[in-house]
Amino acid sequence: MFLDTTFLKNEEIELRLEKTVEGDPAKNWVPAYHFHICGRGGAVMGRCDLRIGYNDNLYYGGRIGYTVFPEYRGRHVAGKACLLLFELAKRHGMDHLYITCSPENIASARTCEYAGGRLVEIAELPEGNDMRQSGETRKRIYRFDLCGQKY
């Protein structure tokens, strides 16, 4: 199920596989890759993950998650990581994906726009959603169409 990921690099960053996680149908979780985002010199700049597959929960939770350590912010590190992850998603046959963020997270919204996302809506999280149970109520939902796109 999991593919080779050594191609996930560009002139500035590379994604180094940290681990893979099998899906758990009982929890409605899909398989996922987890990466360190590294500068070409080897410094770990942050982390990202890609969830493979489709289910209703991922509309709100997104298929890509990322965090960039404070000293590396403002350099589009997360956006560049997303562009690399789009290629891996396409190799898994995915034709689109969603990335979500809290409405007040302007940096994450800018990352989605940098990576070519289209804002679909700012959605209320449904009752029973785990994120809602932890205090969140809304998400910005960005769609990325991968077919025919070279990232």
- The answer to whether the CB of 86 falls within 8 A of the CB of 146 is yes
- Encode pLDDT of 23-56 as tens digits: 998 888 899 999 999 999 999 999 999 999 888 8
- The span from the CA of 60 to the CA of 102, in Å, is 10
Q: Which domains does the chain have, with CATH numbers?
A: 13-145 (3.40.630.30)
DSSP-derived 3-state class of residue 61: helix
Q: How many helices (H) and strands (E) does the chain have?
A: 4, 7
Q: What is the DSSP string of 45-91?
A: EEEEEEE-S--THHHHH-SEEEEE-GGGTTS-HHHHHHHHHHHHHHH
- Encode pLDDT of 11-27 as tens digits: 999 999 999 999 998 88
Residue with tokens 């996930």: 8
The single-letter DSSP state of residue 31 is: P
Nearest in space to 29 (alpha carbons), one of 63, 67, 66, 65: 63
Mean pLDDT of 120-140: 92
Contacts of residue 148, Cβ cutoff 8 Å, sequence gap at least 6: none
Q: Is the pLDDT of residue 99 over 80?
A: yes
Mean pLDDT of 133-139: 92
Percent helix / strand / coil, the chain, rounded to 5: 25, 35, 40
Q: Which structure tokens are listed for 99?
A: 């990335």
